[in-house]
A and B are shown apart, each in its own frame.
Chain A
Amino acid sequence: MTGAAQASRRARRLLRWYPRAWRARYGEEFTELLLADFAERPRCWSRAADVARGGLLARLATAGLAGYQADPAEAERAALAALACSLAVFLTVGAAMWAQLTIGWQWAPPGSRATTVAMTVMSAAMLAFAALALAAFLPLAWCALRDGRQRLAPLLSRPAAVAAGSALVLVVGGRHFGNGWPGTGGHWWPHQGLVPGGVAAFAWACTSWVSSYWAHPAALMAFPATEVGWMVVSPAAALCLATGIAGVVRRVRCPARVRRWQAWLGVAAAACMTVFLSAAACWVTGGGAGPRGLFHTGVIDGVGLAVLTGALAAGCRALQQVHRAGLAGRETG
């Protein structure tokens, strides 16, 4: 292989750090600059690190978590989609934690006051999340239907179908496995507990894959094959649901007032995330050892707290970008 061909290959490899849209716009000229730089400084580790950093920043910008997009409306949509993804991660891990406590309460009330308070606050936050999701979904669905009838139908149909299909899988699978779960039975109003049994069982079944059983394959294999299969299928369905919703948010052309409404809901969601996280931290750190039942905290709950914190941080970063893009949009009219 000649030196020129090798250099060209090195440049192409470095270019892969950048997202596709960036490569389409700047790829050719950036490759030329890299080739000139290779000729002057054949061995330079800092150049590779610099290109990697630039590529990751460009990917964050494309994902709506860093802002230098030319079109403020596009930047706002990207940031709202990033916020939706952060919320999806938060809700998945949060629901897994909450469902564990909820089902525990149906067996026996918590012995620790910290757990009781945490459970009550987390349940209130979950109710608020549901209300916010409905308030965000209705105008988005209206805009999607309006756009779907117009020119954007081909762009919207795929993410909308992915979101609807995966939601259906989660609902059907969640109901099926929730009803069969020992201890819950899907009773709608149990004699004791804070949350209707059917809701608790459904939340647990949808998030049963957030489990430390993955670290204990022998114990996992003792489960019926269908349940293990569901623990593999359900995260894929949750991922598809989040991706589909983010795709719709990113593509729907909402009027500015609807985007402002979504941004306001995002702020409210971040506040709920903070409240939920505080309550979860209260349970994990102050709930005491408790009985070795579902109120007992383990390593996975510590990991869950870390994931919730990361998702909240990413959501706040996305909200900053939403705010910045909104301001830029109003300045440019």
Chain B
Amino acid sequence: MTRSPGPGSGGMLGALGRSAGPAALILASLADGAKHGYALTKDIESFAGVRLAPGTLYEALSRLEAQGLIEALPSEDRRRPYRLTATGAAALRSHLEAQRQVADVGLRRLAGNWGTA
């Protein structure tokens, strides 16, 4: 089996490997403003139905920070908020557009062969 670069495999999020899923959720959560760890967990739970455990959350946060996709703001009451950088916004946009392309193709093919629900 050969592996070709599909629409969702490339880009800066693709380089995060297993953390790409949590990373995309974190970037999407930060798209509407800075948040600290606990606020990120609750926000992601509310819009994605997934609760990121603390270790997973901080593994992804430290990778995103090392890649320059997010940046830390000064600490507030022992909690440090993070915000999206311009590079992070571009990476998220590219990732979501690739996801939308896959979703559009899948939905079109489903509608053609299986009809609408």
Contacts and interface: CB of A to CB of B under 8 A. Distances in A.
A32 B37 contact: yes
Given A37-B54, A50-B53, A68-B66, A32 B79 contact: yes
29 contacts: A22-B62, A26-B58, A26-B61, A26-B62, A28-B75, A28-B80, A29-B79, A30-B37, A30-B54, A32-B37, A33-B38, A33-B57, A33-B58, A34-B54, A50-B53, A50-B55, A50-B56, A51-B53, A51-B55, A52-B55, A53-B55, A54-B55, A54-B56, A54-B58, A57-B59, A58-B59, A68-B62, A68-B67, A70-B68
Contacts of B68: 70
A33 B41 contact: yes
A6 interface: no
Nearest to B38: A36
Contacts of A186: none
Interface residues of B, number: 22
Interface in A3-40: 22, 25-26, 28-34, 36-37
Given A29-B80, A50-B55, A54-B58, 17 more contacts: A26-B58, A28-B75, A29-B36, A29-B37, A30-B54, A33-B54, A37-B41, A37-B54, A50-B56, A51-B53, A52-B55, A54-B59, A58-B59, A58-B62, A68-B62, A68-B66, A70-B65
Interface in B58-103: 58-59, 61-63, 65-68, 75, 78-80
Contacts of B58: 26, 30, 33, 54
Contacts of B67: 68
A55 interface: yes
Nearest to A57: B59
Contacts of A47: 53-55
B54 A50 contact: yes
Contacts of A34: 54
A26 B78 CA distance: 10
B15 to A, nearest CB: 9
A25 to B, nearest CB: 8
A221 B40 CA distance: 62
A32 B55 contact: no
Interface of B: 36-38, 41, 53-59, 61-63, 65-68, 75, 78-80
Contacts of B56: 50, 54
Nearest to A71: B66
B98 to A, nearest CB: 21
Contacts of A36: 38
A52 B57 CA distance: 13
A278 interface: no
A170 B53 CA distance: 48
Contact of A32 (B59, B63, B65, B78): B78
B54 A69 contact: no
A46 interface: yes
A33 B39 CA distance: 9
Contacts of A51: 53-55
Contacts of A55: 55
A34 B41 CA distance: 11
B63 A68 contact: yes
Contacts of A54: 54-56, 58-59
Nearest to A51: B55
Contacts of A68: 62-63, 66-67
A61 to B, nearest CB: 8
